[in-house]
Structure 1
Amino acid sequence: MFDDLDEEPKVDLTPLIDVIFMLVIFFVMTMTFSKPVIDLTLPAAENSLAQKNNQELILQVNEAGTILWNDKALSKEELPVFLDEHPEGLLTLMIDEKAPFQSFVWIVDVAKVKREGRFVIGTRKNNSG
């Protein structure tokens, strides 16, 4: 009669393990995987046409980050003044592929302010291959 009382109580953990396993699967399936940094490499233009217009202002940024107009260097302080002095014409930005990205961002920011967002980022055909 008292034989059942001597036996230790047993807890079946199988349903608990099943629930935990289902929760793990749910969280893994709904988790988003993302990289914190995007490595961006822009391709070279295959078919670009060099057009010269008398009203076109071509600003170049070389791989050192120097801003050039007609092979004359412009400092960061001179660029906004230069754009104010030349309000006419289409502003074309030619950025070297090895130029520092911060230089690109800075010149685009100044061009957006001084030209109300009207400018062109030009390309050249890659002659290396």
Structure 2
Amino acid sequence: MIEFKKREDNGSILDIAPLVDMVFLLLIFFLLTNSYQKHQVSVTLPATKSGQEVTETKKTYTIEIKPNGIILINGKTSTLNDIEKIPKTAEVDIAGDKNISYQTFMKVLDRLKEADINNVNLLTLKE
């Protein structure tokens, strides 16, 4: 009969499975509790006393209007004609700088109306 030598069990084996589980739990915790700001716009929004927070239900597009008339759609420089590429069922948030001309603002609203986009929100700051 063949005899096998038994290894001495010194108890120094480290099981890392619980450690990996804890790292994943911490990662999920920090991802879920991280403060998320829906709208991060680079324009100075006008302040209002009334208004309510918008809940996100559909795919949201953000149109930013800079004081010099430059239009950004979801952070990318665009033209008025690019507004027609937005789906009709999308929710559109307009973030117009408080110093833009009324004419520029109305051109954007007019183009949204022509594209048959009716779910439009105007972004402001709360006073």
Using the size of structure 2 for normalisation, the TM-score is: 0.51
- The CA RMSD over aligned residues, in Å, is 2.4
- Corresponding residue of 2:104: 103
Alpha-carbon distance in structure 2 between the residues aligned to 1:119 and 1:67: 19
The equivalent position to 1:62 in structure 2, one of 36, 55, 66, is 66
8 Å Cα contact 1:45-1:123 kept in structure 2: no
1:4-38 CA-to-partner distances (Å, cap 9, x unmatched) read xxxxxxxxxxxxxxxxxxxxxxxxxxxxxxxxxxx
The letter of the residue matching 1:63 is P
The runs of at least 4 consecutive aligned structure 1 residues that moved more than 6 Å come to none
Unaligned runs of 5+ residues in structure 2 are 1-45
Q: How many residues align?
A: 81
The letter of the residue matching 1:44 is A
1:38-80 CA-to-partner distances (Å, cap 9, x unmatched) read xxxxx72235425444522221112112111221111123232
8 Å Cα contact 1:67-1:74 kept in structure 2: yes
Report the identity percentage. Answer: 16
Q: Does 1:45 align with 2:33?
A: no
- Corresponding residue of 2:81: 77
8 Å Cα contact 2:62-2:92 kept in structure 1: yes
Unaligned runs of 5+ residues in structure 1 are 1-42
Instruction: Give the helix-richer structure, 1 or 2.
Output: 1
Using the size of structure 1 for normalisation, the TM-score is: 0.50
- Corresponding residue of 1:120: 120
Larger CA Rg, structure 1 vs 2 = 1
Following TM superposition, by how much is the alpha carbon of 1:107 offset from its aligned partner in structure 2, in angstroms? Answer: 0.6
